[in-house]
Amino acid sequence: MGRGKLRIYLGAAPGVGKTYAMLSEAHRRVERGTDCVVAFVEHHNRPRTEVMLHGLEEVRRREIEYRGTVFTEMDIDAVLERRPTVALVDELAHTNVPGSRNTKRWQDIEELLQAGINVVSNLNIQHLESLGDVVESITGVRQQETVPDEVVRRADQIELIDMSPQALRRRMAHGNIYTPEKMDAALSNYFRPGNLTALRELALLWVADRVDEYLQQYRGEHNIRSTWQARERIVVGLTGGPEGSTLIRRAARVAAKGSGSEILAVYIARSDGLTSASPKELTVQRTLVEDLGGTFHHVIGDDVPGALLEFARGVNATQIVLGSSRRKAWQYIFGPGVGATVARESRPDLDVHIVTHDEVAKGRGLPVTRGARLGRPRIIWGWVAGAVAPVLLTLLLTSLSDTLGLANDVLLFLFLTVLAALLGGLLPALASAAISSLLLNYYLTPPTHTLDIAEPRNLVALIVFVAVAVSVASVVDLAARRTHQAARLRAESEILSFLAGSVLRGETTLDALLERVRETFAMESVALLERMSDVDPWTCAGSVGPQPVSRPEDADVDMPVGDHMALALSGRMLPAEDRRVLAAFAAQAAVVLDRERLVGEASQARELAEGNRIRTALLAAVSHDLRTPLAGIKAAVSSLRSDDVEWSDEDQAELLEGIEQGADRLDHLVGNLLDMSRLQTGTVTPLIREIDLDEVVPMALGGVPEDSVDLDIPESLPMVAVDPGLLERAVANIVENAVKYSPEGQRVTVAASALGARVEVRVVDGGPGVPDEAKDRIFEPFQRHGDAPRGAGVGLGLAVARGFAESMGGTLTAEDTPGGGMTMVLTLAAAPGHLPARPELSARFTS
């Protein structure tokens, strides 16, 4: 059974009439005979809404007790058991009472859609996940109940219920929305004219973007490619800090302004980890970006700005969204920061957006928590503090007329040694201790300008100075190495956690997994190799990147997976500690490969089952539908050859006419069977040439009564690029099917029109029509719809027509005829050089 269709009524604020419009639609459908029920609708004590519930069947609700109070929620099992054609479900963003099957009502609706039940629901614009920050800044209220944008965008229909702010406030003042005691507070707070105007603009812009998406979908379905629009790819740089959610939502709003935009959130971890990253924040941000329809990527790179730019250019990104730095002012002495570096090194074709947030300049913790990798600038500053600064300090101290005393001199040099250790690590600190001790002894310890020491206490001071300096340097270096190890383990655990999550969700394909390996370890290419036995050659089961290796021996890094499979990486050598993570990727790659093969085998099994079904249907057709005309022909011939009866001339003519009709019918049935066989085996080879429709379509009407079809083929139509023979057979099958189901005395209309680089042929009948859920099924082989009698054909006409249309690069779809009936739309490619002039578009439009 197919998936149900979702229709959403979208409003800018409560009270615009979403539930009322939903119930009005339900009454219209019930009047048309549709099985429509109320699964869950809350009228909120609004009289006009409550009246609209009268006459509609309501499914019982489920009662749930929570903290001593009984609440009612939609009973999913009751709706599934009732199994209506259409179910009304109010408040798409509603959060269910704890104890319910699902957390959110949109998840309940997803179950109904999966069961093939059509759903009509409603939603306010402030409940969209990507607009949470914007709505809060407008109204001052943070919406706790939100719906992922992707859920709403997947809806088959979205209708905006629009109302001006003045009309909505009047409705509020008349008591049609809230009770009198709540009215004044609502009008002076949330329902202020400015708030309502801003929310209305958000709703209009969002729906306008959806209209553009529908237009692009229509152009794609009809293969209209006269214009080209670049695809926007927006990369969001995450640090694992609390500002990540703000950046993702801002990127989603930027992406929503352009059709087909894509969001890619990337977290760059150094090989020693980004220790300021919060695993909890990263998990929340990963879920958020996936809810908004984007993807999350985890990349390891020692140069964070360089890795971010390399990733962005690798995915052909057009924009990068980064947050303003959380560092305090004094921390800029270690460098300009990631944002400034990315903005400086990005080329003109890559825009960089620096977004402010609440965490700006609040700091990122103590320097030791940022990671143990000091970086080249810090090491240089460490050597300056350890080697150059002691010399400068010595010049300063010797130039003073009054000495500070050896104890104070030792403390000053000790400060430089500690500073060198903090900046550059162990080696600059040891060098500073050695240089400082020599300078103290030669220039500042009596007797000066000699390495001799006159007083024992001065010797003790120098020895303590060297011991303290070496101890501090050792402690700093040990802390850095321990931090390095801890941060690296956490970076590995982040990757393994993400990998485990993708495994449980079953989202990763082999190519995507290999691409993740390539991104994570910064490789040029990755290949999964396998062989049947130890003596067989290696074969490539999947690869990404340029020039993948064909043997594990040729790779820079290879990871065995079992006895006859290996993951081969090219680009650079990996340290030993990385092989643990690589082994997890390799094992998962083998699992994904097995899963894809099982899916392929299941698909082949389904194809065999479909073939068996077609063969069974063919036997049924041969046993009945083909024998019926043969029986008629046999009876007529036997009667003519009989010597017992003297047939008059009229009787003989009637019998001969019956033979002729049976032969024609048999020829038609056999022709469709042969055509279907050619389509199933892929042996249909169209001979495309340019031809006018008025040369082909009239010839296709020879099999129907002359007065049963109205033909409208304008002479101004462009020529089409088709196979005339296949087009004639396709049109003949479509027209014969339309005539068969049209009421007695009602003519079928065959009309053609030009649409861009396409030409449409519409065959319109006034028959009983076909429900939406059966429109695709009528194009399957051996399908009859409704109560079509046996002997009226084997159910191949439309299947053959669609197969011929697709073989010529066209399409055949079914639409409802206004007023009742079915319209078959045959879309064909216009011949190059014969395109019609582009029509002028009216300035007025509707959506």
Q: Which residues contact 122 (CB under 8 A, 6 or more apart)?
A: 8, 9, 10, 11, 18, 19, 21, 22, 90, 91, 92, 161
Would you state the pLDDT for residue 838? 42
How large is the average pLDDT for residues 479-505? 68
Residue among 804, 793, 795, 720 nearest 755 (CA): 720
- Tell me how far apart the alpha carbons of residues 507 and 806 are, in angstroms, rounded to a whole number: 32
Are the C-beta atoms of residues 828 and 720 closer than 8 Å to each other? yes
For the ranges 147-156, 264-273, 648-657, 702-711, the lowest mean pLDDT is seen at 264-273
Q: Is the model's pLDDT at 819 over the cut of 80?
A: no
Would you state the pLDDT for residue 227? 33
Would you state the pLDDT for residue 110? 93
| H or E segment to which residue 122 belongs | strand 118-124
Would you state the pLDDT for residue 484? 67
Which pairs count as long-range contacts for 433-438, CB under 8 Å and 24+ apart, including other chains? 433/465, 433/466, 433/469, 433/470, 433/473, 434/466, 435/386, 435/387, 435/390, 435/391, 436/390, 436/465, 436/469, 437/462, 437/465, 437/466
Are the C-beta atoms of residues 314 and 344 closer than 8 Å to each other? no
How large is the average pLDDT for residues 374-383? 76
Name the 3-class secondary structure at 825. strand
Q: Is the model's pLDDT at 659 over the cut of 80?
A: yes
Instruction: Count helices and strands (H / E) in the chain.
Output: 24, 24
Are the C-beta atoms of residues 119 and 112 closer than 8 Å to each other? yes
Q: Find how far residue 629's CA is from the centre of its chain.
A: 54
Percentage with pLDDT > 70 across the chain: 80
Q: Find how far residue 619's CA is from the centre of its chain.
A: 44
Q: Give the amino acid at 281.
A: E
Q: Find how far residue 460's CA is from the centre of its chain.
A: 71
Q: Is the model's pLDDT at 39 over the cut of 90?
A: yes
Residue among 86, 154, 152 nearest 117 (CA): 86
Q: Which residues contact 733 (CB under 8 A, 6 or more apart)?
A: 672, 797, 798, 800, 801
Q: Is the model's pLDDT at 836 over the cut of 60?
A: no
Q: What is the pLDDT of residues 670-723, one digit of tens each?
A: 776 666 666 556 666 788 889 999 888 888 887 788 788 999 888 888 899 998
For the ranges 342-356, 480-494, 635-649, 728-742, the lowest mean pLDDT is seen at 480-494
The overall longest dimension of the chain from CA atoms, in Å, is 155
Would you state the pLDDT for residue 229? 41
Which pairs count as long-range contacts for 168-174, CB under 8 Å and 24+ apart, including other chains? 168/13, 168/15, 168/16, 168/196, 169/193, 169/196, 171/15, 172/15
How large is the average pLDDT for residues 117-144? 88
Q: Which tokens go with 563? A: 């006895």
Listing DSSP states for 582-621 in one string gives: HHHHHHHHHHHHHHHHHHHHHHHHHHHHHHHHHHHHHHHH
Q: What confidence category does residue 5 fall into, taking pLDDT thresholds of 50, 70 and 90? A: very high
Q: Is the model's pLDDT at 646 over the cut of 50?
A: yes
Would you state the pLDDT for residue 367? 35
How large is the average pLDDT for residues 474-496? 71
For the ranges 218-232, 363-377, 504-518, the lowest mean pLDDT is seen at 363-377
Q: What's the start-to-end Cα distance of the chain, in Å?
A: 31
* Planar angle of CA 398, 402, 403, nearest 5 degrees: 60
Q: Which residues contact 57 (CB under 8 A, 6 or more apart)?
A: 36, 37, 38
Q: Give the amino acid at 687.
A: L
Would you state the pLDDT for residue 272? 47
Return the bridge partners of 7, or none.
Answer: 120, 157
Burial of 255 (0-12, 13-18, 19+ CB in 10 A): buried
Would you state the pLDDT for residue 125? 92
Q: What is the pLDDT of residues 757-797, one digit of tens each?
A: 789 999 999 888 888 888 888 887 766 655 444 444 556 77
Q: Is the model's pLDDT at 839 over the cut of 60?
A: no
* Planar angle of CA 376, 380, 383, nearest 5 degrees: 140
Q: What confidence category does residue 333 fall into, taking pLDDT thresholds of 50, 70 and 90? A: low
Give me the chain's average pLDDT, please. Answer: 80
Structure letter (DSSP) for residue 788: P
Pairing between strand 295-300 and 262-269? parallel
Highest mean pLDDT range out of 91-95, 588-592, 642-646? 91-95
Strands, DSSP E only, in 67-117? 69-74, 86-89
684 vs 809 pLDDT, higher one = 809
Q: Is the model's pLDDT at 89 over the cut of 90?
A: yes
How large is the average pLDDT for residues 317-341? 74
Percentage with pLDDT > 90 across the chain: 17
Burial of 342 (0-12, 13-18, 19+ CB in 10 A): buried
